[in-house]
Structure 1
Amino acid sequence: MLTTEHNIPIQKIDNIKGVELWIKREDLIDQKISGNKYWKLFYNIKNYTEQNNINPKLISFGGAFSNHIVSVSAVAKQLNFPSLGIIRGEELKDKISENPTLRQALENGMEFRFVSREKYRDKEPLKLELQTEFPTSLVIPEGGSNHLAVEGIQWMLSSHTKDFDYLCSAVGTGGTIAGISKFAEHHQKVIGIKVVQDDSLEDQIKKWSGKSNFELINAKEARYGKITDDNIRFINNFYKQHQVPLEPIYTGKMMQKIIELIEQDYFEKETKILTFHTGGLQGIEGANQQLQKKNKRLIQF
């Protein structure tokens, strides 16, 4: 049963140039359902089951190392729902055993359909096909972001987050930062660190949030899925200093950029910054597989 009753720790990271840096450990919310994905799925599932009074087949979309796919499969297993993952890349069909993300989703009971990148790119016809084939299914967008997901993100904020001046999160599809923006206190400023190159994000976030209290800043490496040696070095050093594991696609890039901004005097002294750890640690094994093939530095905890 998904619930809003969670005691998520807020951990102080450092005081850098008179600026306090903290992190809310949403990665600890559930062993299988990762960080912000928990809250994105919360109202999507709650509303569907209450309105239809049936257990739906959960269907969603993702790539080879998708945190979202694993989270959907884990929610489905927990609630005893069937699940189906639409996976980008037909070549992955014969590589499930080699892929830690897909293997984990399979162990959770998820079925897969592997589609070409061309078909995957245009999801509306694909979504209509799925809804026709599975009329009692709940089809969830890639990454989980929609207006119901934005509503769920409100539970990442609480009385314990009200005293911070800035609220910061990584930005992929925009749902998390839209929710933070929508439910932030009036005095709080919201910063989203973009890890994708998508110029439409600002308008989409405003549409979901209804506010303009946020700023989007590119990560040092904003190409989605691109992992650099500099990013890995930062993640490994961060863990040694603070015992907080980060992953290289979202939270690692976000934290690296926020610290860089502090060091560049972007924030005034005595500012209190709260960053959100949005989970995704399951992706580290797959990332290390790819890095090892290229004889690159590995993530080590």
Structure 2
Amino acid sequence: MNQPLVARPQPEGDTSKWLVDVQAALQSGDDGALWRLVDQHHDPAVAHHSVATLAARISYRVEGRARFSEMFLLPVIDQPGGKVIGDAVAFQNADFCINEALDGWLPPKTRKTVFRGVRPYDWIGAWRPTVLQGHLHSTVPGSELTKLNFLTETIELPPDVPRLGFVCMVLTSERGWPQLPPVDTLRDNRFKSVVSFALQNGKSAAPVVLPPDRMQCAVPDGICLWLHQMHQVVPITGWIALPLQASSDVVKITLALASEDVPFSQFTLRKHQLGMQGLDEVLAMLNALAPMLDQPMDIPSKRAMTTLDLT
């Protein structure tokens, strides 16, 4: 029987109880309790880093043996005219090659579960902590196949700009939390080249990919590179970041674009995915590309309820 473990880093004093309470809020899907705990912490940066770390992890036992699983993401930037993101057939054709490349890149004996397809950031930016935990629990041996429902917002973009997606995977270890291999530029470049070529669709430009990383690193890295590449094609002329009053997790980014077709675009950042450091990295990139807008604004978004089979 699979028995959940409580993730217990080694802090001192009240911090230990705070971490256990955060873990309990994540396991019960109580977002309100989770963000109240964040507000109670004396150091916001530490609190958000802890939430981002714990939200992407689960631990459990199988036949008495401990397992430690964590969500990792592989950023994919689809070039204009590409059809990598959301194309099940393209990913199916590339699936074997991507798995072989991952086996060669990851440390030996790393267990992995790769979810089908390149998920658009429109989806991932909509994931609440409960949805992320649902993905993790779907990989536990013997777990029932489930479906997740979540409300997505379409990121409206000009047709000639890159789009951002991620290959999602859960890595599992019996010896503590999964580790990434040591930095090796040659190996990383070889991995990126193989995966990019495998995903390339016909005569369209090959997508840009980054090596897998922990969620709170991969999401800001992917967003920053995507924004930079977008700016090269359709300049970002201004931006503004606004916390969403209805959710302590959400920051809405509005972009002003030098485009007659789509003069404004908007996307969501979630603190439980990036932590404060990742949020600061995205804001720093935006600040380097364009000035901040003087007036706050919100734009209507196309919304749809998405039902996702977890595999």
Q: Which has the higher helix share?
A: 1
- TM-score in terms of structure 1 length: 0.32
- TM-score in terms of structure 2 length: 0.31
Q: Which has the higher strand share?
A: 2
